[in-house]
Each structure stands twice: as C-alpha cells, then as structure tokens.
Amino acid sequence: MFEVRTWRGRLVLQVVVTVMAIPFLFPLIVMIKGSLAGQGWRNFTAVLGVPGLAQFFINSAIIATGATVLVYVVAMMAAYGFAKLHVAFREVYFWLLLACLTLPEVVLLAPLFTTAIRLGIYDTYWAVILPLAALQVPFAVLLTRNFLNGLPNEVFDAARVDGASSLRGFLYLVIPLTRPIAAAVIIFTLIGAWNDYLMPLVFLQSPQMQTITLVPQFFVGEFSNDQTKILASAVITAIPEVVAYLCLQRLFERGLSAGAIK
C-alpha cells in the first residue's frame, strides 16, 4: 500500500502511527495507574480478599459457555438446513431470523421480565443465557450459512448417495468443514455474552448470581467509592479478557474478518 523510500519518510509514518495510538493507550494507562494509587498493590489484595469474587467469574464463565454452546449447536444445525437440505419457503424462514439481527436487547426487557417470572427462571442462569443466545443466533446463522453455501454440493450429495443420513452428514461433514467459521461464531458469542451488562443487571438479583460486568458497581457499594479499589477491580476483571485475546489473537482477527469479507 503506502510506500516510503526515505528514512525520513519512515520516521514520519512511525511518528504518525504513534500519535494516533496514544489516545487508545491513555485510558489503559489511567486504569493501571489509578489502581496503583494510594495503597499501591494493597488495593489488589483488598479487592481479591472480598469474599465471593471468584463467584462472579464462575457465573460469567457459566453464562458465556452456556450461551456459546447453545448458539453453536443451534446455528450449525440451522445453517446446514438452510444451505444443504430441502426446506420449503426457505427464504421466508431465513428473513424471519435475519429481522432479529437489528433488535436492541432493551426492547425485550419488559416482556422477558414477565415471562421469566412466569416460567420460574428469573434469577437463574437460564434467564440470561436464553435471551443472549436468542439474540446471537441470527448473526451466527447468517455467517455459517454463507460459509456452507460456498462449499461444493457434490460432497454432501456423494455422502447422501452413499446412504449417509442427514445426521451423519452433519456430524462428519458440517462439523469438521465449518471449523474456520465456527471460530468466528464462538468468539463473537463469547465476547458478547461475557461483556453483556443489561441482561445480568435485570435478570439476576441475588448477590451470588452476579456476573463480572456487575463487579464495578458491586465495588462502588463495597468500598463506598474508593476510586483506587474500583479501578483495581476493573484491572482484575479485564485481565482474563486481555490474556484470552493475546493468546488467540490470530483467531480473533480472522474470525472478525470472516464475517465481513468474502
């Protein structure tokens, strides 16, 4: 793309990129510096000493895993049905799903609330997992169907002619062949579920059910607005996400671009 031949030009580019990157780095520096202000490392030990902190992580992990497994299974199946099997009025069903793509979760608040109470799942993991998964499925189906459409029909026809049932076709063809796009689906759903704030805020009441996105608010109460400890709690909750990203960097970037680029 850009071509710079002189060292002076290279230096200019380097400076430009650095200046552009500073605003992105600044809040992270503020976060870390703030968390070490006052009592220094003791802010962290104070936060880690709060009973039940681990439970926040466990709850988030259960919800994120539950939603991701549900979205993965349901979306893979649907994409297989849409792309490679016979469905009457296929496009009608597909658009029915796609219309849900644009839906803001806040719209679901009032009806979901009454439904959750009626079904007796209010303040359980299901009250968060089900709506989160429901909102993520349309995008996952869109991605996976596009991907499966790109695979040759011959493979699936050959399996069928050999007498493979659609279940075998799913287990031995769809699951292994969709691995690249599955990475995208799983990562999108994981980030979405792990970072979600509104659903846990509304549907989880008891303290032992709270997720990590509710941690900062919990600590506002716990430490009566001691900023440094609140920032320390933010650092602690951010660490797993940053580590996960750094370890799976390739996967994140490839997954993201798989969604938008053919």
Partner 1 sequence: MSSAHGGSTGPHPSGAVVAGTSAGGRCLPAEPGKTFAGRDRSFRRRRRSPGLPWILPALVLSAGLIYYCIGDTAYISTQNWDGISPDMTGVGLGNYTRIFHDPVFWDAIRHTVEFFVVTFVVQTFVGLMFAVLLHAKVKLAGVYKVIVFVPVVLAPAIMAPVFRHMFAPDGELNALLRHIGLGALAQPWIGQTSTALPVIMAITIWEWTGVTFVLYYAATSQIDRSMVEAARMDGAGNIRILISIIWPGVRGTTVALAILSAIGALKTFDLPYLVTTIGGPDYATEFLGTYIYRMTITLAHVGYAAALSIILLVVALVIAILLQVIGRQGKARE
| Total residue count of the chain as it appears in this document | 262
Q: Does 105 bind partner 1 (CB under 8 A)?
A: yes
Q: What 8-state DSSP symbol labels residue 197? A: -
Q: Does 84 bind partner 1 (CB under 8 A)?
A: yes
CA–CA distance, 133 with 196 (Å, rounded to integer): 12
Q: Does 153 bind partner 1 (CB under 8 A)?
A: yes
Q: Which of 49, 51, 163, 176 binds partner 1 (CB under 8 A)?
A: 163
Q: Does 66 bind partner 1 (CB under 8 A)?
A: no
Interface of this chain with partner 1, residues 6 to 35, rule: CB under 8 A: 10, 13-14, 16-18, 20-21, 23-28, 30-31, 33-34
CA–CA distance, 10 with 124 (Å, rounded to integer): 56
- Any idea which residue has 């979760």 for tokens? 105
Nearer to partner 1, 102 or 206 (CB): 102
| Stretch of residues binding partner 1 (CB under 8 A), selected from 43-51, 118-126, 178-186, 238-246 | 238-246
Q: Which of 7, 49, 88, 250 binds partner 1 (CB under 8 A)?
A: 88
Q: Measured at the alpha carbon of residue 74, what is the angle toward residues 144 and 92, in degrees to the nearest 5?
A: 70
Q: Does 194 bind partner 1 (CB under 8 A)?
A: yes
Interface of this chain with partner 1, residues 118 to 137, rule: CB under 8 A: 130-131, 133-135, 137
Burial class (CB in 10 A: 0-12, 13-18, 19+), 49: exposed
Q: Does 151 bind partner 1 (CB under 8 A)?
A: no
Give the DSSP letter string of 224-249.
TT-HHHHHHHHHHHHHHHHHHHHHTH
